[in-house]
Structure 1
Amino acid sequence: MLTLLKDPRVLRRDILASLVVFLVALPLCVGVAVASGVPAELGLVTGIVGGLVVGFLPGSSLQVSGPAAGLTVLVYEAVKEFGIGALGAIVLASGLLQLALGAFGFGRWFRAISVAVVQGMLAGIGLVLVLGQVYAMADTAQPSGGLGKLAGLPGLAWDIITDGTTLTAFLVGAGTVAVLVLWPRFPDRVRAVPGPLAAVALATGATLVLDLPLAKVEVKGLLASVRPPGLDDFGVLAGVAGIGTLLAFTLIASAESLFSAAAIDRMHDGPRTDYNKELMAQGVGNTVCGALGALPMTAVIVRSAANVQAGARTSLSRILHGLWLLLFAALLPAAIGVIPLASLAGVLVYAGFKLVPVKELAPLWRDHRGEAVVLAVTAVAILVTNLFEGVVLGLLLAVVKTAWEISHLHVDVRELTGGRLVVSVTGNATFLRLPRIMEQLEGLPKDRPIELDLSGLRHLDHACRISLENWALRHNDAETEPVRLLPPAAAVPRARGVDERTTGSGAG
């Protein structure tokens, strides 16, 4: 970085990029914190740590870290269940776990997580986020659980229609969403201002000018909001629910950060990401955030993409963005207190919709139907149950789908002279295909000589081996010669009472 900074043009571009990222990050840091049920300043603390701590660490030089909309739902549920004090303990433990995973080289293994599961996870988070923030747009308390939020929508619609204050708040939030949707269509000179900042600024200005009776962000001050976890707060990690939340934090934050790194690497020609080092950098950041009682952090694709598109060349831009956040929080805290909550909710509704891969669903269903099913099931499971259970279900379904797809099996029956039947089984014989194999074999006549040729199998698992041996022993009538079994080489040991011969041509 120091070598590059000798070039004044690089220095100038990095400073300008840092200002762009700061303006993008500011409303998102505040909005994520408010939606998570914690003081707004804690979102800024996480953004500051993402710049001034993680920004100096190796891993990905252009990726920007901070509080993410993708963790909002999980943080909100954790705060509601365990309290804000326990949040710091969970985030700190999650950071230490990320450090350990990175140190032991697990960073690259996060790339092996099914993309459909990750997309389904983000889609499920996006749906829950949208459903929850629609209530916040109307300055109304949101029901708990995804199904509760769905069931409450008719009542919310009635309140918006019949109550003037609720309608006013909802219109401000809807106006914020409209600005964000239309912002990319404005001229380049207008779009020099980041869309989230422009949307929140316009909504705040309209609220002040028209003197609208809307709920505003509560401001406590940066130092007053920081609350390091006490020893009692770590007791939550002794329970199953606390451990499940810890694992969910770690899995989602790590996966989102590393998938973001892969996406950002495709946007620039600079050094590639070291995944283990990036995972450790995120671990350091979350450990510090946890020690301060702040929100968990991830690498955020929106801020990272803005950094690259603004012309950043070194990690200086992400470091400076953290400095600008610190100066703003320290010198202009009152500016946060004039922002209407409905506007921040509108920003997060838009962010939630962006997490749902609507455009990719039709091509995915057309070309990879199994992946589309995994994505949809994961998203719906998160909406119906919770984030951790939905992700676990998605991972299990992805594993089962993969095992099913690689278990290609073909059973061919040929009749030779003299009435002998030759049954050739090729492919991969696993327990997933066992019902199909046995159905076809048990339909063969019992009064004919049969030769079962397994030499074409590439894989034969234990369940199939035992079932095929038992079938060979018991299928034919007593007066018919035993089934002759031709096993894969070294795959099926000699079964007592079965007439075997090996061909030497089978594949183990």
Structure 2
Amino acid sequence: MKSQEPGLFSELKSDLPAGLVVFLVAVPLCLGIALASGAPLFSGIIAGIVGGTVVALLSGSPLGVSGPAAGLAVIVLTAIQTLGYEAFLLSVAIAGIIQIVLGFAKAGVIGYFFPSSVIKGMLSGIGLIIILKQIPHAFGYDSDPEGDFAFKQIDGETTFSALEHMLDAITPGALLISVLSLGILILWQQPFIKKFKITNIIQGPLVVVAVGIILQQVLMGTSWNLEPEHLVTLPIANGWGEFIGLFTLPDFSQWSNPAIWVTAITIAIVASLETLLCVEATDKLDPYKRLTPTNLELKAQGVGNLISGLIGGLPVTQVIVRSSANIQSGGKTKAAAFIHGLMLLGSVLVIPKLLNMIPLASLAAILIVVGFKLAKPSLFKEMARLGNKQLVPFVVTIVAILFTDLLVGIGIGMVVAIFYILLNNYKTPYFVEDKRKDAGIIHLELAEDVSFLNKASMLLSLKKLPRNSKVVIDATQTLHIDYDIKEIIMEYKANAAYKNIDLSFIGLNPETMDLESSSRKQKAGARIPVEPVD
């Protein structure tokens, strides 16, 4: 019996609470990114709604969540100051059209050429940035808006100077809420707590937000009272007319202005790169090791940016902060992202006043836990165990991201990773050959030397293998196999059962993916038992 792809709401029990957590994280981030970009606050909410509904439905990413991107804040700020807001919106819409074209041109393959060490460095770097950026909010120092993840902040401070100034501006009420919130989140993850059924129904972040609202009300009127700057600040529309007035149309008369097109091309390229990097990082975090179709993702993001630009929203990308929050909250399908988008839309219509009672300290605690899970100490130990070829690009990427920004940091990490790859592999050609033989058995024969430069062809070759088939990965001629390729094969092995694929190996250790000795390569491959999926 053939295995079936899950329906949109087939995992609602898991996706509904995950969508709620992502929604709670997304609200202050959408507002903060809009503020950091010099745009109207509601433009961030529009981008979040479009990313959560339109992009989520069109995308093939099961766990990715899209919305306004912090990495575009400087570009957006400069464009708005130069062009004006309405003309800038036209650039966003044109950027969306360019992304759609890139999707049809199959430019999504670019995302597969980033080595594993750099992607993992990106995840850990973002995790550390989230922690460093949220600590001031946890102490009640909220001078820098949520969503500003750059090293040099819009108020002139840096990530580390903000930590220093935070000590002179501690808000006792916020600190109390953040400490209690962290305690609840840590407690909620303990095995003995999981034994209570209610803890599996009500997620820890929801409890944290509820406790934060209650404490904020209790502290009101006392010396520990939280001022409005310590709370979520969602625009409130008094009636349908005011709500419609929050949307803005682009200035179509500027379509012939060359500066509009330069900005559009810049946004399209940067947004596409951020999305493709986030896609690969999210796929690595996916417990089911599913592979996102990157060309479809570019098309979905393009449609999202086209719509966002037409109704007054910021540019949209897939965002690792929200995507990782989704995964860590138990999301299983793209319904979680869609639910978060619907909640964003409903919140500005129905409960903006309730959301404006949420302390930023509560959300800081949630994000600190998200950041810690992205930058686990065990990941650093794993990379150290793999040797300098993996460790050095990993560490360089982290440091570069911390002191610059996402794309610059990844670029620096890529340079170091490519240096190591070329140092070891410049003498040998690379190829992956797919042969069909033995009546229905598919043989995937690896080359003599296989490096991360073969990631794209390997991923695409494995993706094309049909369901309910017999596959043999043959490494009898292979003398060197890069860690990135081993990781891809291990992830494919974990996913094979979901496609009812009977997988076996020749010349590879089934557990470690290390090459077997020459004498063992001559013997029959070690078969991996994969239970068929009905």
Matches within 5 A, 1:43-442: 43-57=44-58, 59-60=60-61, 62-67=62-67, 71-72=69-70, 74-78=71-75, 81-83=78-80, 85=85, 88=89, 92=93, 94-137=95-138, 138-142=140-144, 145=152, 148-160=158-170, 166-185=171-190, 186-187=193-194, 188-211=197-220, 212-214=225-227, 215=229, 216-221=231-236, 223-230=244-251, 247-261=269-283, 263-264=285-286, 266=288, 273-291=292-310, 292-294=312-314, 296-298=316-318, 300-302=322-324, 305=327, 309=330, 319=338, 322-407=341-426
Q: Which has the larger radius of gyration?
A: 1
User: 5+ unaligned residues in a row in structure 1: which ranges?
Assistant: 161-165, 410-426, 429-508
TM norm structure 2: 0.62
CA contact (8 A) 1:98 1:250 kept: yes
Superposed CA RMSD in Å reads 4.0
- Corresponding residue SS for 1:30: helix
CA deviation string 1:377-396 (max 9, x = no partner): 12211222333322221222
> Of residues 20, 34, 45 in structure 2, which corresponds to 1:23?
20
Percent sequence identity over aligned pairs: 25
CA contact (8 A) 1:374 1:398 kept: yes
- Corresponding residue SS for 1:67: strand
CA gap 1:77/1:158 in 2 versus in 1, 3 angstroms: same
State the Cα distance separating 1:27 from its structure 2 match: 0.5
CA gap 1:109/1:182 in 2 versus in 1, 3 angstroms: same
CA contact (8 A) 2:272 2:298 kept: no
CA contact (8 A) 1:50 1:64 kept: no
Which residue identity does 1:176 align to in structure 2?
A: S
CA contact (8 A) 1:245 1:388 kept: no
**Aligned residues, how many?**
390
User: 5+ unaligned residues in a row in structure 2: which ranges?
Assistant: 145-149, 237-242, 429-447, 450-534
Q: 1 CA distance for matches of 2:388 and 2:90?
A: 41
State the Cα distance separating 1:255 from its structure 2 match: 1.9
CA contact (8 A) 1:50 1:285 kept: yes
Q: 2 CA distance for matches of 1:284 and 1:321?
A: 19
Q: 1 CA distance for matches of 2:186 and 2:79?
A: 36
Which residue identity does 1:65 align to in structure 2?
A: V
CA gap 1:47/1:345 in 2 versus in 1, 3 angstroms: same
CA contact (8 A) 1:32 1:348 kept: no
1:458 is aligned to none
CA gap 1:305/1:346 in 2 versus in 1, 3 angstroms: closer
CA gap 1:225/1:118 in 2 versus in 1, 3 angstroms: farther
CA gap 1:119/1:247 in 2 versus in 1, 3 angstroms: farther
TM norm structure 1: 0.65
Which residue identity does 2:207 align to in structure 1?
A: A
